[in-house]
Chains A and B, each alone.
Chain A
Amino acid sequence: MATFATDKEINETFQQDVHLGVNSFSAIAGVEDRDVAPATATTEIFGRFQALKTLLHPNLCEYVEIVKGKHDRLFVVFEYHMNHLGKLYQRNEEGNIQVSPKIGIVMLREWAFQILKALAYLNQNGITHHNLAPHNILLDIEGRVKLADYGLYYMTNGGEDVDFPIGYPHYLPPEAIYRRADMPGASGKVDVWSLGVILAEIFTGSPFWVGNDKDIERLFSSLWKLQEAEHDDDIWEKYYIWDWDLGINEAIMEFLQVTDEDDIVDFRRFIRACLEVNVSKRCSPEQLLSHPFFSPSYEDGLGSNYKYWWKKPFLQSQKIYFDENLLELIDDQPNKDVLHGLPLSQIYYFWKLAGGDVETELAKRGYLLSTPPIERIPRTVKVQDGKEEGTTEDTAFLFSDNIYTLSLKELRQRLEVATGPNREAFEWDTDYFTQVDEDDMNFLVEEMSNNDNSDDEIFGKYLFPDPNSHKVVSSSINGQTASPIPLMNREKDVGYQFQRVVLFSELLRQYPASRDEIIHHAKVDIPPFLRGKIWAAILGVKGDYQALYDSYNKETETTTDRQIDVDVPRCHQYNQLLSSPIGHEKLRRLLKCFIAANNKLVYWQGFDSLCAPFLTLNFNDEALAFSCLHTFVPKFLQDFFLSDNSPVIKEYLAVFSHLLSFHDPELSDHLVKIEYHPDLYAIRWFLTLFTHVFPLDKTYHLWDKILVGPPSLPLFIGISILRQLRDMLLKSEFNDCDTFSESFPDVDIEKCIQSALSMCKVTPPSVMYRVHEPFATPNSSHNGIPDHHIQRWWEQPVPIEVKKTELAPRISFKDLAKLKNYVLVIDIRSEQDFSRGHFPLSVNMNPAHLEQFTQVLKQENKKYHVVLGNKGDSGPQFAAELVRAKFPRVAVLTGGIDVMRVDPVEGGVSICSCPNFTTGSKNGSAAYRKCRIFKEK
């Protein structure tokens, strides 16, 4: 099954008449006697909103995004259609509202049915509309009902988080006004009442309630009277309610009171059912769908044919006001719209990239004119009858149900240019992995070409040949290195992102079959809009991950709970999603699920940070976030979360130190001198893969590359960080390093990744070999150990305590052989041993004479320096001296000369036993010999 085939973010299609609407409000103002602080309320709304984005129903407008603006003002972006039932309402000359023209039963039935379907869907998802009114019952271009504004009540926690009431009193039932709506089972029924009122109004052509809409007092007293009468049955059929002076329009009353069996009896019964005063007797939207009003035309497979109802001859939709501009738009460009077929969330994303910003947009149009603070000082005067005079509405703080539509004109223009024939071409920087420096080694390319018979899945897959790389290489030969457009610019370029999103949407729809291609393209860069799913695809998440997630127990209390509970509210709290109460719940569940799913692993502080990227990117899909984490940890942090992880971490840090001395001997030497060891600062780097070090936006970019890169990449990223701060560190003593230990505001992630990859390219795999490496096997090619059944002395892994004390790493003969053109092998055995056999072109010297020969050795001008000795001699110490003498890329040959004897021919290199090596230089008693012959075999 294609995992993301039905995903809303890549599939929902955009129709031409759809608009992006925005409305805006603020959370409760900071009133002292409330429990909730305004900032907290804003965050809470922000968190609750996220679930609304996942709703998908043909009769609901989609929620697209929530944006926090200045002063914590919130902007909600959603699907909007210009046509709505509010357009049937007009004021006549006396200022009274009239509904005209009358709409027939057939139409009303269709609307009612679709509205109820939408409401029932909302109820299933635990949402009550509570805000239903004619103007938010929208009609799309095909006349289909689309409810808008249905999430306000839900996202504000039933109105708790805002200062304004939610719902239009004229359409609210008695129990909503008198706070009885909280009773169990009552929630969805509020909307049924509203629906009844609206339909009655449209049918009779008269507003339900008499009088103008400011006469709230009378309305409330009427609703109270009705509330009091909740135990009277069939109240609308009783004549005595005429005496209650309810202020209901006569036309409505007359309609409701008819008891004859006429041709609209079912409709009337339906309205009465909607207007049942007793909420416990009132039907839910779900129940009403089977009301006789909807049969017989609906009785077979309810609504299965509603999709095409508007084509039938009894249509009366032409009576609805129609937006003419909309028609023009459609006539002008039939199916030429670049946005056609895109999900709304994508359109909004591109709109932002094209320079759109909801807050600025609304401010520009004057909708957000906020009163200067001085003007806001209360100038209210209380006059005698208790009325307040002088208060002016400040649009910046009050809720207004005005909906503003975002203009997509500029976006369309930008995209037409970007997708047109004269578009800017982007240089894709795939050379990260494959660009070959003519004068240097590239182990990544090596491995790629040798990969044919390798069964090492991961190692083979992070490399790919790229047609562009040749171009890059050739241009660098001409002295002009092609400089790709920086990642930051590409991410902000709407045309580029459009192409990337289109490409990846298509690939994701075909996932998992398209996984290799996704990985291929992801190496260039990952479009932020689809990052969560692309990561999941790269990690290979597939199958029914929801069922997997559901199968683990996330509820039972465990001993880890306390630690999780103190860490979750501290995890990346600058992030809106993670700081919301919903975010806390989700993170907690995710952590508990991971522990439940991995009985060997335990919760280490910092694991919360590791979850943060996956959770923020898949906030509405915890199961996907979990599955990503579940496949990520074994790949990148195998055994890091064992209850005893110290062997793993110690080894990792030892390799890290080796790589530092390998690539930056001077810095390495300095840090060793001032005793600034990796265990003081780097544990949290690797344990959390930098999530505890960098803010999330930087982490995303880092992980974009870690996910498609070689497994050792995190080590090199660590070294890149040190090297970016090199100048500062070289000047520092231990005590000055504190500024370094917390966070790195100035670290440039893109440069960091580039330098990490270029170091990675030139690093022989055996140099960074780890026993605890995820895919290490005794025969692993990384170790350079051939598939023997007899274990040689050098095939024993170096004990960690020894490894820690050594400054330089070990290299395998296999890797050394590949380096033959770039390496200077320094043989520290005796002259006799050397003359009996040595590495071709190697030099031989007494390790005690390094000082005399430093210059001579440096003049050899080789990129790698490998020490060759006998078993148990001073090779590692000598290598350490080379590091201290600032020789780059120093390593010790594992197995020394013995390994060459066992494996006489490796990569075209064999022991040279030429007698005619020359004495390169003499300095007192110190001698320096060099082999001058290199015979390829």
Chain B
Amino acid sequence: MSTTNNRQNVQASGKLYQFKLVLLGESAVGKSSFYTVYIQTLYIGDLDDVFQAKILVLRFVKDQFDDYRESTIGAAFLTQTISLDDNTTVKFEIWDTAGQERYKSLAPMYYRNANCAVVVYDITQPSSLDKAKSWVKELQRQADPNIVIALAGNKSDLSARRAIDSEEAQAYAADTGLLFFETSAKTAVNVNELFISIAKKMPLEQLAANSRGRGSGLKQRGVDLTSPTPANNCSC
């Protein structure tokens, strides 16, 4: 499908929503793995068909989850477009950030104009929740006031080594007005649920295409559901 045709299609027949999501959190809590899983989800399934997608994701993730993913320096980003139906297309721009405290000064560049943020901590690392809280504070102070923030306690597959109470994090999330899930990027548990909740909380009508003011020609790349190529094959 040529991009020109696609653009015309979108303009002619449907609505295009675009949103920018930023992943924040301490080093090695699984941010980058998180978005790998997420992208695979988008490739495979339709947001409504959670069950089917999850099965598929599980299968893919088992092959592709990488315990030793290279660290992220500065930031990495990825965009993905999915068609909800013939008339609605949603485009995601996902920013993955470096976890090390030192890179913090770069973060505003990445969360600027973000519509949603997923702040990730590692349930086996007590310090990572504190770090997550400080990210939440920073976002609430500096980011777009309408930003939807979700807190994700990742690595729930390692519950034997749990160091952070579910309830504690849950209570904090409730107090602060965050979405909250305990997730596992490795087994894909709750990853879909998290993103669906975010999607539901997004005021879609306000996210009309081109909200970022980046040129006028927003091209689309088609979503090819038949070939779930790994979206993120970092070989460096």
- Residues of A at the B interface (CB closer than 8 Å) are 563, 566-567, 569-574, 579, 602, 604-606, 608-609, 643, 646, 673-675, 679-681, 683-684, 687-688, 692-695, 733-736, 738, 741-743, 745
Contact = CB atoms under 8 A, between A and B. Distances in A.
B145 interface: no
A830 to B, nearest CB: 37
Contacts of A688: 73
B8 interface: no
Contact of B105 (A573, A646, A735, A738): A646
Nearest to A698: B236
Contact of A570 (B69, B100, B218, B233): B69
A839 to B, nearest CB: 38
Contacts of B5: none
Nearest to A731: B3
A136 to B, nearest CB: 37
Q: Which 8 A-B pairs have the closest CB atoms?
A: A566-B28, A684-B73, A683-B74, A606-B73, A735-B79, A605-B100, A743-B236, A573-B68
A181 to B, nearest CB: 34
Contact of B236 (A602, A604, A675, A692): A692
B73 A733 contact: no
Given A608-B71, A688-B73, A738-B78, A733 B219 contact: yes
Interface string B39-68: 000000000000000000000000000001
B172 interface: no
Contacts of B233: 742-743
B32 to A, nearest CB: 10
A604 B102 contact: yes
B102 A567 contact: no
A605 B214 contact: no
Contacts of B98: 605
A29 to B, nearest CB: 21
Interface string B66-110: 001111111111110000000000010100001110110110010
Contacts of B70: 570-573, 609, 692
B110 to A, nearest CB: 8
B106 A683 contact: yes
A569 B236 CA distance: 14
A687 B73 contact: yes
Contacts of A566: 27-28, 71
14 contacts: A563-B27, A569-B68, A605-B27, A605-B99, A606-B73, A608-B71, A646-B105, A683-B74, A687-B74, A733-B215, A733-B219, A734-B215, A736-B219, A742-B234
A567 B91 CA distance: 32
Contact of A735 (B28, B218, B232): B218
A347 B141 CA distance: 65
B235 interface: yes
Name which of A566, A681, A694, A743 has the most chain B CB atoms within 10 A of its CB.
A566
B77 A680 contact: yes
Name which of A673, A695, A741 has the most chain B CB atoms within 10 A of its CB.
A741
Contacts of A643: 102
Given A733-B217, A735-B219, A604 B74 contact: no
Contacts of B75: 680
Contacts of A694: 236
Nearest to B101: A563
B103 A675 contact: no
Given A566-B27, A566-B28, A673 B215 contact: yes
B15 interface: no
B68 A738 contact: no
A684 B233 CA distance: 17
B221 interface: yes
Given A569-B68, A735-B91, A742 B73 contact: no
Nearest to B232: A742
A818 B26 CA distance: 52
A679 B69 contact: no
A741 B231 CA distance: 12
Contacts of B103: 604-605
Interface residues of B, number: 35
Given A608-B71, A684-B73, A743-B235, A563 B100 contact: yes
Contacts of A573: 68, 70
Given A695-B235, A742-B76, A745-B235, A679 B27 contact: no
Given A687-B74, A692-B70, 9 more contacts: A567-B71, A570-B68, A674-B214, A693-B236, A695-B235, A735-B91, A742-B232, A742-B233, A745-B235
A742 B109 CA distance: 18
Contact of B234 (A674, A679, A743): A743
A571 B74 CA distance: 16
A675 B214 contact: yes
A684 B102 CA distance: 14
A736 B102 contact: no
Interface of B: 27-28, 68-79, 91, 93, 98-100, 102-103, 105-106, 109, 214-215, 217-219, 221, 232-236
Contact of B73 (A579, A679, A683, A743): A683
B30 to A, nearest CB: 11
A594 to B, nearest CB: 15
Nearest to A733: B219
Contacts of A606: 71, 73
A375 B68 CA distance: 36
A741 B69 contact: no
Contacts of B100: 563, 604-605
Nearest to B75: A680
Contacts of A605: 27, 71-73, 98-100, 102-103
Nearest to A683: B74
A92 to B, nearest CB: 58
Given A675-B214, A733-B218, A684 B79 contact: no
Contacts of A604: 100, 102-103
Given A734-B214, A736-B219, A745-B235, A570 B71 contact: yes
A741 B76 contact: yes
Contacts of B74: 679-681, 683-684, 687
A604 B221 CA distance: 36
A724 B75 CA distance: 22
B135 to A, nearest CB: 17
Nearest to B98: A605
A735 B73 contact: no
Contacts of B27: 563, 566-567, 605
Nearest to A641: B102
Name which of B70, B98, B214 has the most chain A CB atoms within 10 A of its CB.
B70
A888 B196 CA distance: 49
Nearest to B32: A570
A692 B93 CA distance: 22
Given A563-B100, A605-B73, A606-B71, A738 B109 contact: no
Name which of A571, A646, A683 has the most chain B CB atoms within 10 A of its CB.
A683
Contacts of A680: 74-75, 77, 109
Contacts of B91: 735
Contacts of A683: 73-74, 106
A559 to B, nearest CB: 10
A645 to B, nearest CB: 8
Contacts of B71: 566-567, 570-571, 605-606, 608
Nearest to A645: B102
A679 B109 contact: yes
Nearest to B103: A605
Contacts of B215: 673-674, 733-734
Given A563-B27, A605-B103, A736 B76 contact: no
A755 to B, nearest CB: 21
Contacts of B106: 679, 683
Given A605-B99, A683-B73, A692-B70, A738 B214 contact: no
A889 to B, nearest CB: 27
Contacts of A567: 27-28, 71
Contacts of A675: 214
B79 A738 contact: yes
